[in-house]
Amino acid sequence: MMKNDKDVRVDEHSKNRDLDPQRENPTAGTYLTTDQGIRVESTDNSLKVGARGPTLLEDFHFREKLTRFDHERIPERVVHARGSGAHGYFQVYESLADLTKAKFLQDPSVKTPVFVRFSTVAGSRGSADTVRDVRGFATKFYTEEGNFDLVGNNIPVFFIQDGIKFPDVIHAVKPDPDSEMPQASSAHDTFWDFISLMPESMHMIMWHLSDRAIPRSFRMMEGFGVHTFRLVNAEGKSRFVKFHWKPLLGVHSLVWDEALKIAGKDPDFHRRDLWKAIETGAYPEYELGLQIVEEDQADDFAFDLLDSTKIIPEELVPVRRVGKLTLNRNPDNFFAETEQIAFCIQNVVPGIDFTDDPLLHARLFSYLDTQLTRLGGPNFVQIPINRPVARVDNNQQDGFHQHRIPRGRVNYSPNSLGGGCPMAAGAAGFVHYPAQLNAPKVRLRSESFGDHYSQATLFWESMSMPEKEHIVKAAVFELGKVATKAIRERMIEHFGRVDADFARMVAAGLGMHAHAGLGTTVKNAAHAVAQKLSAKRSVEKSPALSQENTPKPGIRTRRIAILAENGVSEAELSAVRAALAAEGAETHVISTTLGTVKTAEGGQVEVDFSSIHVGSILYDAVYVPGGTASVEAMKKMGDPIHFLNESYRHHKPIGATGEGVELIAASQIKGVTVAGAQAAGKLFSEKGVVTVRGASDLKPFITAFIEAITQHRHWDRPEYPAVPA
């Protein structure tokens, strides 16, 4: 068979490409080298002072690897590209002078301005908001002593222990380099290949597969500083600290099917939610929490405080809530503020200092290095959104995009021609905590970082049954997208070391067989660890890790859909709507067309959205008011019935009054008693479905419906898979 010209060009291109001596061949038995061709001893651990000491700047392989990674893309962020931001302020509740000399944590009357950027990690700027991913929660405090950047996530741990592996984990989760697919998704071979070969990732993976990876909104997710930091008071006493953000609206998530559908219906779901909440005055609020550990107690735990794959269970060290963050102003310009803001974890103020966490040390280098390329040089701090409110005086000058015009002839120190200014502040400036160091230079990891499964098991054991079911389904979905059987088999082995039943359920969902001894190895290992750490502090369960155990303070800012057509009962609609609004909820009337619907009483009600533009996935609950004509019309339509079915399948609260109960009876929701057998005026509430017919007083219904919405999800619906949606 003759080849055409196109075939010849393709073959020539392939041949020439393979002849290139610089082209990497993944199948060749080559050694890993630096860009200078120097063979690399190890790429799993950075060079440190002792196995548990600080990372050394002389590690040229570490610096080269991170530098190359930081400069891979311009101008979009390599990670956390998809973001949303807001201005606000922070106030401490009481002076924390006993813990820290940081001034912004001293005076409860001071409002410290902040800018917060929320983000996803893996996707590009154009990806959807509701993908399964870690969410960034980065806060820049503009304090009188300089900027403090608390660069955190909505998950308290990370995939890796040493920052030298950060390029690897991000390369693995990003789209494949040959096809640039898939976008904003971890459900592919390269990611799970990496994870299956990195046991230290198991704790983070459990969080990633949980509901925490698909938050309901930025306003309803926790934030964590991830690392262990130091707080240092005026007397020089140091304590270890973990930072937390606790949302005052409670912690809530989407369900996976809902998240997938929202990505198509409204890919800007989280961004829009944050913007609208601030525009309408429903300001997002979070409390800053601290977990404080005295230095002489740091070795009392059955895990290493410097290991970023570990948490301190709140049952061992309670979270002390010390202040409140309020977001009350949207950006004036997205690019100038949200896109150009530069967070650097190195930005700390006196009273806050670092520990020897190797992942933290990598971030100290990497964040600054990234900004130099992304924002065009060393003067990025002069961009208005990055500019500190504290006075800036130094001898650094020139460079790309210099906005300042320095005056005078002195640009060096020491000097006499400028009166010795600017002068060093001495003890009044930032003084690094004088931690004692004495160890050989080694490329090793501390043995105390060696436990990769116990906290993954802790997370699993702390979940409610519905949350465990979601983790299993997420694992089946993710690994079901993995084409390489060996990767799936390795992950089942890892899951068996977390929990044998968990592994078996995932294996069954994948059509695989888990061997009989699954989990035995880890149980034996657990006994050995328990004996070795018998005097250490640990817990078998941490109820604080379960979203079901987090506070549910009310229905403020929840979105409630009201389904109505011509002939709706204005009395019922108005009474329920007013009561929900009084509790701070947002209600929308949804009908087949925009404009107005006529009420049974002869009035008119404004329609907020037509059913073609919205769906149940965009709402937290649904209410169907009475009105014979309205309900009869909706019983003949597909959209209202689907709206109810889908809401029920997603475990959302459903309310109906009067004839509205008949629309539920016409749906596929058969697991609750909603039909006309109810006596007139009798309130019915079960599994989050609240109904009443012919009641002269709607107050009992309203109370029960608000209680159902406060719960957010109703998992006690065993028949929900049979409901088509």
Positions marked catalytic: 80, 153
Nearest to 472 by CA among 516, 518, 503, 497: 503
Q: Is the dihedral of CA 376, 382, 384, 388 positive or negative?
A: positive
Strands 609-610 and 586-591: parallel
What are the two backbone dihedrals, phi and then psi, of residue 495, each rounded to the nearest 5 degrees? -60, -35
3-state secondary structure 1-61: CCCCHHHHHHHHHHHHHHHCCCCCCCCCCCCCECCCCCECCCCCCCCEECCCCCECCCCHH
Beta bridge partners of 160: none
Give the integer Cα–Cα distance in Å for 310 and 472. Answer: 22
CB 445 within 8 A of CB 200: no
> In terms of C-beta distances under 8 Å and separation of at least 24 residues, what long-range contacts does 91-97 make, across chains too?
91/323, 91/324, 91/326, 92/288, 92/322, 92/323, 93/321, 93/322, 93/323, 93/324, 94/322, 96/231, 96/322, 97/233, 97/234
What are the two backbone dihedrals, phi and then psi, of residue 143, each rounded to the nearest 5 degrees? -95, 165
CB burial class (10 A; 0-12, 13-18, 19+) of residue 116? buried
Give the integer Cα–Cα distance in Å for 713 and 652. Answer: 5
User: Which 3 state secondary structure label does DSSP give 236?
Assistant: coil
Could you tell me how many helices (H) and strands (E) the chain has, helices first?
A: 18, 21
